[in-house]
């Protein structure tokens, strides 16, 4: 790094706001020459600060000490750090892009190595890269947070012994040094008083018959669960979506080996598109720092879907290529595309903005969240929502709108009916996988399916 660039870096850091401890520490450590190749963490930098105290740290008086030879500033990476993602700057509404060592960036910070951005105040979601990073789930951080939340106030050493370990392996799991397999993670839940079977029954539709026939905390149970979630997704597509070896995935599906907890969570995410709901079946996601923000946004998205169903159709319209090709947002364009009124379009956009599902880029409304919104969390409101969309499909069918409308009235055996129901579920899961991996957005579609028996429910008591 040239001398001129070193001066620019040091001058830039000195101009940073001082209302956050993190920023103040970064500034002082730059001045003290404590940042560089050997700056393993904030804690290490603070230890060196304790060994080399400055001559008074009054406001604006920091000891100017040249960098050590073994700590060249050239080792510093260019990192974009969103200030609102920092614990010390959580309530700020602007993003601070500044140069800090990679070691200072925790798992909860969105960063991009070897990239230098201009320093400017803006809403963090107004940056497409920041918005994309904010919707990405860090699987290792989630696994560590999940284990910590499941353990609660119980001793790490005690839980390790209950699982059959002589060492305090739970500490290593929570620190992210290593991770348990999926079956051991389920055993951990049982040891901490959780009910894995009840959680899976709440998560899986149905639930399937195999759930009560197999020990879900065993490797065979994990293989059966992954097979259930996979449905008919081709192995090659699943491997490409997860960046995992298809040979490793094949062994996991056969029960010959097991994925680690982060790998298991990644598979759940890519096969079901409902990872947050899966975690919510075991613990409160709002307590997990790695997904708390995503969970809050999902809750707001569900509320919008329940209270104003058209908002999600408008949200899907914002993903269309034709909308992105517009030079600027045109009021009424979405309304004409969906055959709705401009008032519904305007109210939907206002709701999406207030709930954080879209942001205004200056020319267009841009979606910020691509997570599948599962409305089954509230059965009563979910039933009303299904009825609303079914009624809309009926209205469009009676007015002659193009679409695929069909029915089949028949009589089948009970065993065959169960097979048809299972086939319908697998078809729906595969359809969601195709949608998730679709490379383009050209149409907004509504898939409404009904499969029911016309006979009276004989399991209910008369009267």
Q: Where are the beta strands (DSSP E) in 169-240?
A: none
CA 66, CA 31: separation in Å to the nearest integer?
7
- Cα-based angle 89, 92, 93 (whole degrees, multiple of 5): 145
CA 66, CA 10: separation in Å to the nearest integer?
11
Nearest to 33 by CA among 58, 9, 59: 9
- Judged on CB neighbours under 10 Å (0-12, 13-18, 19+), 331 is exposed
CA 251, CA 219: separation in Å to the nearest integer?
11
Q: Go through the chain and tell me how many residues it has.
A: 463
pLDDT given for residue 347 in this prediction: 92
Strand partners for 260: 181
pLDDT given for residue 42 in this prediction: 46
pLDDT given for residue 301 in this prediction: 83
pLDDT given for residue 433 in this prediction: 75
pLDDT given for residue 184 in this prediction: 95
Contacts of 199 (CB under 8 A, 6+ apart): 189, 281, 282
- Cα-based angle 175, 181, 182 (whole degrees, multiple of 5): 110
The pLDDT tens digits along the chain (463 residues) read 456 655 655 555 455 444 333 444 444 444 555 444 344 444 454 454 444 443 333 334 434 344 343 433 333 333 333 333 333 333 333 333 333 333 333 322 232 222 222 222 233 334 444 444 445 789 999 999 999 999 999 999 999 999 999 999 999 999 999 999 999 999 999 999 999 999 999 898 777 888 888 899 999 999 999 999 988 888 998 999 899 999 999 999 999 999 999 999 999 999 988 899 999 999 999 999 999 988 988 888 888 888 899 998 999 999 999 999 999 999 999 999 999 999 999 999 998 888 888 899 999 999 886 556 777 777 888 899 999 999 999 999 999 988 888 888 999 998 999 889 888 888 887 887 787 777 778 999 998 888 888 887 645 443 3
Given the structure tokens 């260019």, which residue do they identify? 78
pLDDT given for residue 87 in this prediction: 35
Q: Is 358 helix (H, G, I), strand (E, B) or coil?
A: strand
Contacts of 216 (CB under 8 A, 6+ apart): 186, 196, 197, 200, 222, 225
Cis peptide before 279 (omega within 30 of 0): no
Q: Report the greatest alpha carbon distance in the chain.
A: 88
- Judged on CB neighbours under 10 Å (0-12, 13-18, 19+), 280 is buried
pLDDT given for residue 460 in this prediction: 45
């Amino acid at each position: 790094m040239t001398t001129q660039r070193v001066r620019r870096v040091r001058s830039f850091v000195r101009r940073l706001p001082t209302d956050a401890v993190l920023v103040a520490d970064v500034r002082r450590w730059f001045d003290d020459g404590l940042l560089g190749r050997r700056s393993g963490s904030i804690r290490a930098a603070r230890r060196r600060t304790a060994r080399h105290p400055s001559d008074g740290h009054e406001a604006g008086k920091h000891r100017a000490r040249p960098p050590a030879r073994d700590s060249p500033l050239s080792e510093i990476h260019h990192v974009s750090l969103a200030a609102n993602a920092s614990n010390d700057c959580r309530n700020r509404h602007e993003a601070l892009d500044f140069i800090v060592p990679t070691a200072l960036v925790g798992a909860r910070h969105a960063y991009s190595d070897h990239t230098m951005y201009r320093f400017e105040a803006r809403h963090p979601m107004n940056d497409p890269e920041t918005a994309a990073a904010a919707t990405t789930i860090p699987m290792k951080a989630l696994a560590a947070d999940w284990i910590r939340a499941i353990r609660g106030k119980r001793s790490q050493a005690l839980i390790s012994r209950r699982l059959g370990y002589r060492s305090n392996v739970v500490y290593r799991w929570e620190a992210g040094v290593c991770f348990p397999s999926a079956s051991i993670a389920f055993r951990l839940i049982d040891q901490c008083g959780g009910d894995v079977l009840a959680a899976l029954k709440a998560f899986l539709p149905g639930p399937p018959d195999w759930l009560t026939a197999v020990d879900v905390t065993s490797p065979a149970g994990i293989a059966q669960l992954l097979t259930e979630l996979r449905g008919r997704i081709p192995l090659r597509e699943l491997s490409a979506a997860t960046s995992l070896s298809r040979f490793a995935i094949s062994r996991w599906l056969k029960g010959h080996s097991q994925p680690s907890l982060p790998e298991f969570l990644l598979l759940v995410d890519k096969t079901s598109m409902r990872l947050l709901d899966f975690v919510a079946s075991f613990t409160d996601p709002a307590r997990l720092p790695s997904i708390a923000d995503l969970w809050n946004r999902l809750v707001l998205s569900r509320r919008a879907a329940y209270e104003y169903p058209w908002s999600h159709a408008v949200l899907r319209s914002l993903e269309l290529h034709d909308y992105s090709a517009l030079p600027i947002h045109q009021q009424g364009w979405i309304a004409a595309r969906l055959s709705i009124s401009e008032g519904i379009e305007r109210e939907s956009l206002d709701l999406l903005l207030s709930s954080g599902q879209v942001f205004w880029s200056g020319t267009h409304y841009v979606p910020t969240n691509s997570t599948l919104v599962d409305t089954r969390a509230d059965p009563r409101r979910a039933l009303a929502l299904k009825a609303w969309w079914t009624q809309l499909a009926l209205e469009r069918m009676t007015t002659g709108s193009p679409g695929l409308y069909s029915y089949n009235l028949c009589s089948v055996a009970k065993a065959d009916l169960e097979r048809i129901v299972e086939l319908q579920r697998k078809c729906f899961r595969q359809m969601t996988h195709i949608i998730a991996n679709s490379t383009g957005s050209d149409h907004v579609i509504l898939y409404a399916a009904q499969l029911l028996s016309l006979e009276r429910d004989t399991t209910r008591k008369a009267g």
